Amino acid sequence: MHHRRNTLLINLLFLFIFVESPIFITPVHAKPENLSALLQRWTPPEVKKSVKKSPKKKAAQVALGVEALPLEYWIYFEAKAALEKKLDLKSIESLEKRILEVRLNADTRALEKEFDELFYALEIKRAERQVRLKSWRLATRSFTHAMNALHTFKWIYYWRAETSDALVALCTRKAKVKDDACPVLAKRVVDAFPKSATETKVLRDLPAIEASPLVDVATADRLSQPYPEKTEQDEEAFADVLDDYLNGKDHELFEHAKLFMNDFPKSILRFRALFLMAEFDFKFNRKKDAKEKYDQIISQIPLSYYAVVAAERNGVQLRDQVKKDMIKVDLDQLNLQYPEKQALVRAESLYVKKHYEEVALELETLTRVRAYNLDTILYVMGLAHQSNQDLTAFRIANELIQRKYDGLLANEFLEMIFPDRYSEDIELYSKLNKIDPLWVMSLMKQESGFKAPILSSSGAMGLMQLMPFTALDVQKDVLLSSLKQPSNNISIGTKYIASLAEKYNGNMVFALAAYNAGPNRVAKWKKDAKPNWGMTEFIESIPYKETRDYVMSIFRNHYWYQYRKGQSAQSVFDPNFDLKRPIDTKTDSKTDARVDVKLEAKK
């Protein structure tokens, strides 16, 4: 009993000390405040020196949680910075040891994956140094250790031309006993990089190194998700509705659509069924019925592609419904459990110190989104947005959409859903490549959520999710590790989407579909299309759900970015969409093979 009482007192004391953070120090009868104002409370990093001079200001800084970061974050920041420097072997080993120690005793689990990645990236650096010291056996072990532990596309990010030089020196040394391990390592590196990659040029000249047939997996056409997607029960039932729509069966469409909506009242596809019925009402001049269905779509899913099309069909603009009222948040009402409060305090501290990527690591631990109240969701979403962590903000926003939040068309909410990032680079490279910059921004939002160093499981890199072979086709001398740099990625990605737009005579439906699923598949879909189809029919006919949703989402994004940039609204219907207009369908046989190999790999 005595032990339990002491434990309780300690916990209460720790809680009192720890929660000195702006989200927990509020007046008892605090009123809801503007979200944007709450997020401006932070002490600017530029005035840190003056803060230290004043005891009162120092106390205020502690209250903001600035000193709440645990030790593991400082080790993490040190290791990240070290990877960009030249380190001697002793420094590398010391840093690895500290990573292992802090990994075992960490206060937060948010950094586990990041510590693992940094440790094995340092192992690659360690191998380079061991080669210089002619510690051949240890170098082989370090290379093997790193390459086995990291996913292929992860260690590519840390592989430099100097690393290849070290591996060549390791493989070509004179040894009394033949080393079979080194050629195997070299072959793995050669197979992982496209043939024209600068980083591995010296490795390809090694004897007994032949390119593996699997190299085409790394040079396949651009795909973002596995195809075809597993068919669910409601998707299977919806097939009849879609078939009726694409074949112009008016009566059958309504019969099957009503049956579908009755059988699957909670399916997300019910809105698609409603849209297809509205399209037929519009097509056959049943204007009143069409308007009612379009209005339902606008009211229930206002941030969708279908809502944008529905509004234009009804002769209205969604932007006219945008509310200018500020979002209000009551900090007294945040319903977080104690460990979640800890995570939020750390996130605030990281935000103050401008460690924005790490803010997302902490916010991603707040997984009970469905249990949070509106104030909590809006505050966390706002913090993610202010930290430029848009993928986290989008994840949280999905819960508001599910709850039918009435502020989806609030101006401040739209700023978080359609953030304005990397505008200068986008404007520059769009102008050079003669493409509307809003298409580039809209595509980037869909591809990466504006997360610059993002790397997909299939090897797509950076803001515009470029596959290695695509980047090298566009710019022959590009270093793959440079694709995590925003400017480089935007430059190459913009040039690529602009080339697709030119190939398809400005038809952005085709260009976007080709960016996602490859030009050969677009050529097939165009060939299979009926000559009387318009843009909506063609998009609905795309057999890959991921590509269909991708094209719809980018058209939706483009509409709202026109609003965000203060541009007049253009028609959502692509003026260059024309199924009858011929396009260049000449394709390289290698490209066809790449698409098929990549397709199988992603399955």
Nearest to 95 by CA among 79, 77, 71, 72: 79
Nearest to 416 by CA among 442, 396, 439, 438: 396
Q: Which of 25-34, 412-421, 577-586 ranks highest by mean pLDDT?
A: 412-421
The DSSP call for residue 486 is H
- Report d(CA 456, CA 470) in Å as an integer: 15
| Neighbour count for residue 100 (Cβ, 10 Å) | 11
Q: Tens of pLDDT along 486-495?
A: 999 999 999 9
pLDDT at 597 (0 to 100): 35
Distance of CA 149 to the CA centre of its chain: 23
pLDDT band at residue 109 using 50, 70 and 90 as cut-offs = confident
pLDDT at 418 (0 to 100): 97
- Is pLDDT larger for residue 57 or for residue 143? 143
Percent over 70 (pLDDT), the chain: 82
Collapsed DSSP state (helix, strand, coil) of residue 410: strand
- Is pLDDT larger for residue 8 or for residue 408? 408
- Which spans in 193-325 are helix H? 233-246, 250-263, 269-283, 287-300, 305-313
Q: Tens of pLDDT along 354-408?
A: 999 999 999 999 989 989 999 999 999 999 999 999 999 999 999 999 999 999 9
Residue 26 clears pLDDT 80, i.e. is over it? no
Residue 330 clears pLDDT 60, i.e. is over it? yes
Residue 320 clears pLDDT 80, i.e. is over it? yes
Residue 219 clears pLDDT 70, i.e. is over it? no
Percent over 90 (pLDDT), the chain: 55
pLDDT at 151 (0 to 100): 79
pLDDT at 179 (0 to 100): 64
- List the structure tokens of 543: 């057999």
The DSSP call for residue 483 is G
Tell me the one-letter amino acid at 561. Answer: Y
- List the structure tokens of 158: 């840390």
Mean pLDDT calculated for residue range 556-572: 95
Q: Compute the C-alpha angle 79/84/85, nearest 5°.
A: 90
* Phi (first) and psi of residue 323, to 5 degrees: -95, 135
The full set of domains in the chain, from first to last, is 71-211 (1.25.40), 423-602 (1.10.530.10)
Tell me the one-letter amino acid at 290. Answer: A
The DSSP call for residue 323 is B
Distance of CA 238 to the CA centre of its chain: 29
Q: Tens of pLDDT along 461-481?
A: 999 999 998 999 999 888 888
Residue 18 clears pLDDT 50, i.e. is over it? no
Nearest to 294 by CA among 277, 65, 303, 198: 277
In the block, tokens 């989402």 appear at: 553
Mean pLDDT calculated for residue range 582-599: 48
Strand runs (DSSP E) across 293-378, as ranges?
Answer: 328-329
pLDDT at 216 (0 to 100): 35
Q: Tens of pLDDT along 37-96?
A: 777 765 444 433 333 333 333 333 333 344 567 888 989 999 999 988 888 999 999 999
Mean pLDDT calculated for residue range 104-114: 82
pLDDT at 175 (0 to 100): 67
- Report d(CA 559, CA 570) in Å as an integer: 8
By mean pLDDT, which of 27-36, 500-509, 590-599 is the weakest? 590-599
Residue 177 clears pLDDT 60, i.e. is over it? no
Nearest to 428 by CA among 503, 512, 495, 483: 495
Helical (H) or strand (E) element with 551 = helix 545-564
Q: What distances in angstroms separate CA 317 from CA 419, 437, 559, 570, 580, one per listed residue?
A: 20, 22, 10, 10, 30
- List the structure tokens of 215: 């190299």
Residue 6 clears pLDDT 60, i.e. is over it? no
- Report d(CA 388, CA 421) in Å as an integer: 8
pLDDT at 586 (0 to 100): 58
Q: What is the dihedral of CA 7, 8, 13, 18, to 10 degrees?
A: 90
Mean pLDDT calculated for residue range 336-349: 90
List 447, 502, 537, 546, catalytic entry: 447
- Report d(CA 387, CA 392) in Å as an integer: 10
Q: What distances in angstroms separate CA 32 from CA 347, 357, 410, 478, one per listed residue?
A: 22, 28, 17, 51
- Report d(CA 432, CA 494) in Å as an integer: 9
pLDDT at 500 (0 to 100): 96
Q: Tens of pLDDT along 33-43?
A: 787 777 776 54
pLDDT at 392 (0 to 100): 95
- Report d(CA 185, CA 433) in Å as an integer: 40
Residue 2 clears pLDDT 80, i.e. is over it? no
Residue 328 clears pLDDT 60, i.e. is over it? yes
Nearest to 575 by CA among 465, 436, 462: 436
The DSSP call for residue 461 is B
Mean pLDDT calculated for residue range 131-144: 91
pLDDT at 85 (0 to 100): 87
pLDDT at 323 (0 to 100): 92
By mean pLDDT, which of 256-270, 500-514, 543-557, 582-596 is the weakest? 582-596
- Report d(CA 267, CA 259) in Å as an integer: 13
CB 377 within 8 A of CB 399: yes
pLDDT at 585 (0 to 100): 60
* Phi (first) and psi of residue 155, to 5 degrees: -70, -20
Mean pLDDT calculated for residue range 127-138: 92
pLDDT at 31 (0 to 100): 67
Q: Tens of pLDDT along 504-516?
A: 999 999 999 999 9
Tell me the one-letter amino acid at 535. Answer: M
pLDDT band at residue 593 using 50, 70 and 90 as cut-offs = very low
Q: Give the predicted TM-score (pTM) of the model.
A: 0.81
- Report d(CA 215, CA 223) in Å as an integer: 16
- List the structure tokens of 86: 């030249």
Nearest to 17 by CA among 342, 239, 261, 337: 342
- Number of alpha carbons in the 13 Å side-chain half-sphere of residue 436: 17
pLDDT at 240 (0 to 100): 95
Q: What's the mean pLDDT when you consider all of the chain?
A: 83
User: For this structure, is 447 an active site residue?
Assistant: yes
